Amino acid sequence: MAHLRYVAVLLFIALCGLGVNLFFKVQITRLWRAFLLTDICIVASYLLWDYWAIVKGNWYFDQQQILTIHLLPKVPLEEILFFIIVPFTTIITFQTLLKLTGWEKSRK
Amino acid sequence: MIYSDIALDAILVAVLIDLFLLKTEMLTRGIFWISYALILPFQLLTNWWLTSRNIVMYSAADIIGRRVAGAPMEDLLFGFSMILMTLALWDYFKKFTSR
């Protein structure tokens, strides 16, 4: 079970985002194209930084607490999921606030 | 370069992209700062979980050494830059794809 500790954190962040999306009926799926484009840019920049930092040894992971699945050499699968799930929940937060506050109606 | 330098550069890049390249001007909008204020406690919580259990560890030579909620303070710079970059890109692509 220890191997699931990192991925459990990501699951928690994803569930927070999905829960808010459903509860406030944000309907983020309608905007999947914009999410895809945004996340491609985030992964292309921040995952590259992450990869570089891992190779240089800026940070490292306890092999007992990760899934030890590597799609990229040295980069745990969790790190790739991080750069998909965290932007997803960030965007849900922003969209929910736009909806609840009604601010910036003219901007949209 | 150590983590501290790169994290500062990441903020600079995100600010330049937001204000001058995409002109999304997130930094001038209240909705951005409220979003950040909501996300920050969750970043601190997950940072604390990941670092207090040594799931993620940092090379002492690459950080200043000051820690916030268990994680290097550089993580807050990294987090801010990624949230700003994400929302600037999002705002830009949302308009771009709805045309």
Interface with chain A: mutation pick from B56, B80, B85, highest number of A CBs within 10 Å = B56
Scan for tokens 């960030």, then name that residue.
A90
Alpha-carbon gap: B68 to the closest alpha carbon of chain A (Å) = 16
Express each pLDDT in A25-37 by its tens digit: 999 999 999 999 9
pLDDT at res. A7: 97
Instruction: Among A6, A27, A46, A59, pick the best mutation site for testing chain B contact (most B Cβ within 10 A).
Output: A59
User: What does pTM read for this prediction?
Assistant: 0.95
Spatial separation of the C-alpha atoms in residues B67 and A103, rounded to whole Å? 36
Q: Do B55 and A65 touch (CB under 8 A)?
A: yes
Phi, psi of B65 (to 5 degrees): 115, -20
Q: Amino acid letter at A8?
A: A
* Domain parsing of chain A, residue ranges: 2-93
Nearest Cα of chain B lies from the Cα of A26 at a distance, in angstroms, of: 14
Which residues are CB-contacts of B35 (< 8 A; sequence separation ≥ 6)?
Answer: A90, A93, A94, A97, B83, B87
Cα separation of the two ends of chain A: 46
Tally the residues of chain B.
99
Inter-chain residue contact A58 with B97, CB threshold 8 Å: no
Q: Per residue in A19-70, pLDDT tens? A: 999 999 999 999 999 999 999 999 999 999 999 999 999 999 999 999 999 9
